[in-house]
Amino acid sequence: MSDIIRLLPDSVANQIAAGEVIQRPASVIKELVENAVDAGATEIQVIVQDAGRTLIQVVDNGCGMSETDARMAFERHATSKISKAADLFSLHTMGFRGEALASICAVAQVNVRSRMKGAEIGTRIEINGSKVESQEPFACAEGTNMMVKNLFFNVPARRKFLKKDSVELSNIVKEFERMALVNPSIDLTLISNDTTLHRLLPGSFKQRISDLFGGTVAKHLLPVSTSTSIVSIEGFVVEPQGARHRNPLQYFTVNGRHMRHPYFHKAVTMCYERLIASDMQPQYFLNFTVDPATIDVNIHPTKNEIKFEDENGIWQILNAAVRESLGRFNAGPGMDFDTPAGFEIPVFKPDASANPEVTIDTSYNPFAPSGTPAPAPRKPSVTSNWEQLYQGFMSDMGQRDAVPAVTQMTEGSPVIEGLVDGSTDNDEAYGLSSAIQVRNKYIMAPAVSGLMVIDQHRAHLKILYDKFLKIGTGEASQSQSLLFPEILTLDATQESVFGEIEGALRGMGFDFAPMGKRSRVITAMPQIIAHANPIEVVSGIISDTAAGTLKRTDDGMRAEIALSMARRVAIKSGVKLTQQEIEHLISELLRLPSPNYTPDGRRVIRVLTDNEIDNFFK
């Protein structure tokens, strides 16, 4: 038998390597900007077209390359940054693996113009899928200008799996922001489809944070500073009230390199444990400096994961430094974080206004034979509370006639799986009044021939979604001006997403007025959500769109926005409902033409059939 093993041609090997290093347009930007930083540039311009699909261009005023170096740079393992293995442990450059340019030129068309400092003339090279097409002397500015066109043009599978432009652009902006934070002394610009998303002048770290993320974040920064023999940590944490629900700004760098480090992240978040609600996330910008010999940068091709020699030691130092900063901010020196009374965390009480004094009796059994949901008073001292609750309940009962009657409710003849019998026109059929809420999460109600279990959040989401889709179609009234217009401040990613969906938002009843750099005043909302928090709703829609979690449907943006709004406004799981609310929810849900699934395909209702229930007891 003849031999069958052969060495892969370089172009194929490079394409395989590109799979690891270059995953998306943002990875190209990371590699090219890092090269520009390593080249000593003081000014770097990043230009993208179509979220990097068509063009990624990085222009720097760094040291430039000679004619030979410019060609060599695209060979695999070609680097000017290290020459022996020992150099790996004293790295002072971003790059060292010599594979970024080789990988990029294997999966794109590259055009480079470069002139060394002081050289009379520069050079221009064109490379197409690893093949050098041409090189010639070229008059250009000092520094390097790299143009990467049609990324993945020869790897259709990769190109196909690129996400929609808003998502890829958001990744690009995030990558750019990470590098901008690490290099506050470099003049940096990001331009996307001829719009300038960032124009950052050299300045302090704090100034850079402010330029990138806005003055509101910068105003709430608490300095962190500590220096020990194994590490020094400098930077800022954000005051507890600056914590965010979504997309928190959380940045670690080590020796000028951005890193992900879940273990150190924990050291910071633990300090906030009693200071912020459990669903909020702290924000931080922390820079570590260590002896390069004590870290290994080379555990992943993207170099974002870094192994430290003494992770436990650094964890302790980091945790103590952040605690100290937060302590100084809150109560002056000596504040004891282990005293529960140290901080009052506001607790969300949805029913607080209706029954201000009522404490929920966890031993209350809704299945008790009396059928009365009012719990027996446990101690005499709570009698008055109990009376309030009971009275509240009675008055709810009195109002029940206002709730659509069961007979009306079934007009739409909902088809629910498991409802064997279609005759739904009498009170016993659904027995709304005996519906109960279980674990503040599900609603159970008798169905025609079984028992319905409804997920309260999904049910409400579905009801709202159907309503929101009708906004502007004449069936639902439109817009309501806000009595107190609210200011929405966007970061660069959000700004570009906003541009994409602004028209659709207006079509649904939102209105905006421009207000300075990347800010808008929300002046009107769709009337049916007029009670909701405008900032939360709009930024929720923007972040859903940016994250690409919303599928595009035939109804396009409207459906996406309706779903996102419904997610924000729908009753959450864990919220206690009054009997009236329970009944209203079921009745509205069952009016819908298809109440069984949410728009994103999750089940709303399950029915346990009589047979199934009987089988439990066989």
Contact set with ligand ADP (CB under 6 A): 31, 35-36, 39, 60, 62-65, 73, 78-81, 95-102, 144
Closest CB to ligand ADP among residues 97, 558:
97
The stretch near Mg ion (CB under 5 A) out of 35-43, 296-304, 335-343, 573-581 is 35-43
Cα angle vertex 425, ends 424, 427, to 5°? 95
> To the nearest whole angstrom, how small is the minimum distance from the Cβ of residue 304 to ligand ADP?
15
**Which of ligand ADP, Mg ion, none sits in contact with 76, Cβ below 5 to 8 A by type?**
none
Closest CB to ligand ADP among residues 73, 172:
73
Rounded to a whole number of angstroms, the CA Rg of the chain reads 30
**Which of ligand ADP, Mg ion, none sits in contact with 468, Cβ below 5 to 8 A by type?**
none
The stretch near Mg ion (CB under 5 A) out of 27-35, 63-71, 209-217, 225-233 is 27-35
> To the nearest whole angstrom, how small is the minimum distance from the Cβ of residue 292 to ligand ADP?
15
How many other CB atoms are there within 10 angstroms of residue 559's CB atom?
A: 19
> To the nearest whole angstrom, how small is the minimum distance from the Cβ of residue 131 to ligand ADP?
17
Closest CB to ligand ADP among residues 132, 230:
132
Which of 22, 23, 25 lies closest to 51 in space, CA to CA?
Answer: 25
CA atoms within 13 A on the CB side of 330: 21
> To the nearest whole angstrom, how small is the minimum distance from the Cβ of residue 97 to Mg ion?
7
Q: What is the DSSP string of 26-65?
A: HHHHHHHHHHHHHTT-SEEEEEEEGGGTSEEEEEE-S---
Contact at 8 Å (CB) between 80 and 95?
Answer: no
> To the nearest whole angstrom, how small is the minimum distance from the Cβ of residue 77 to ligand ADP?
9
35 contributes a contact to Mg ion by CB under 5 A:
yes
How many residues make contact with Mg ion (CB under 5 A)?
3
**Which of ligand ADP, Mg ion, none sits in contact with 406, Cβ below 5 to 8 A by type?**
none
Closest CB to ligand ADP among residues 72, 335:
72
> To the nearest whole angstrom, how small is the minimum distance from the Cβ of residue 35 to Mg ion?
4
Closest CB to ligand ADP among residues 296, 536:
296
Q: Of all residues in this chain, which one has the CB nearest to ligand ADP in the complex?
A: 95
Helix or strand holding residue 218 (H, E): helix 215-219
> To the nearest whole angstrom, how small is the minimum distance from the Cβ of residue 29 to ligand ADP?
12
Which of 303, 61, 288 lies closest to 182 in space, CA to CA?
Answer: 288
Q: What is the DSSP string of 455-477?
A: EHHHHHHHHHHHHHHTBTTTSB-
Closest CB to ligand ADP among residues 72, 162:
72
> To the nearest whole angstrom, how small is the minimum distance from the Cβ of residue 63 to Mg ion?
14
> To the nearest whole angstrom, how small is the minimum distance from the Cβ of residue 262 to ligand ADP?
26
> To the nearest whole angstrom, how small is the minimum distance from the Cβ of residue 101 to Mg ion?
7
The stretch near Mg ion (CB under 5 A) out of 90-98, 152-160, 449-457, 540-548 is 90-98
> To the nearest whole angstrom, how small is the minimum distance from the Cβ of residue 38 to ligand ADP?
6
Tell me the two tokens of residue 339: 């005293």
Among residue numbers 302 through 331, which ones bind Mg ion (CB under 5 A)? none
Contact at 8 Å (CB) between 237 and 320?
Answer: no
Backbone angles phi, psi at 325, to 5 degrees: -65, -45
Tell me the two tokens of residue 114: 């470069």
62 contributes a contact to Mg ion by CB under 5 A:
no
**Which of Mg ion, ligand ADP, none sits in contact with 65, Cβ below 5 to 8 A by type?**
ligand ADP
Helix or strand holding residue 520 (H, E): strand 519-526
Site for Mg ion (CB under 5 A): which residue of 52, 95, 129, 540? 95
Site for Mg ion (CB under 5 A): which residue of 28, 100, 276, 314? 100
Closest CB to ligand ADP among residues 80, 226:
80
**Which of ligand ADP, Mg ion, none sits in contact with 144, Cβ below 5 to 8 A by type?**
ligand ADP
In the sheet where 479-489 sits, what is the strand order?
A: 479-489, 519-526, 511-514
Which of 102, 74, 96, 73 lies closest to 13 in space, CA to CA?
Answer: 102
Q: How far is Cα 579 from Cα 585, in angstroms, rounded to an integer?
A: 10
Closest CB to Mg ion among residues 144, 496:
144
Q: What is the DSSP string of 162-195?
A: ---HHHHHHHHHHHHHHHHHH-TTSEEEEEETTE
Closest CB to Mg ion among residues 33, 224:
33
Q: How far is Cα 41 from Cα 213, in angstroms, rounded to an integer?
A: 24
Q: How far is Cα 375 from Cα 384, in angstroms, rounded to an integer?
A: 13
Closest CB to Mg ion among residues 100, 148:
100
Torsion of CA 597, 603, 607, 608, to 10 degrees: 160
Contact at 8 Å (CB) between 284 and 244?
Answer: no
**Which of ligand ADP, Mg ion, none sits in contact with 250, Cβ below 5 to 8 A by type?**
none
448 contributes a contact to Mg ion by CB under 5 A:
no
What region does 64 belong to: left with phi over 0, alpha with psi -120 to 50, or beta?
left
> To the nearest whole angstrom, how small is the minimum distance from the Cβ of residue 241 to Mg ion?
40
Contact at 8 Å (CB) between 548 and 498?
Answer: no
Q: Of all residues in this chain, which one has the CB nearest to Mg ion in the complex?
A: 95
> To the nearest whole angstrom, how small is the minimum distance from the Cβ of residue 102 to Mg ion?
10
Q: How far is Cα 468 from Cα 547, in angstroms, rounded to an integer?
A: 21
**Which of Mg ion, ligand ADP, none sits in contact with 81, Cβ below 5 to 8 A by type?**
ligand ADP
Backbone angles phi, psi at 360, to 5 degrees: -80, 130
CA atoms within 13 A on the CB side of 576: 14
Closest CB to ligand ADP among residues 46, 570:
46
Contact at 8 Å (CB) between 460 and 571?
Answer: yes
Site residues, Mg ion (CB under 5 A) = 35, 95, 100
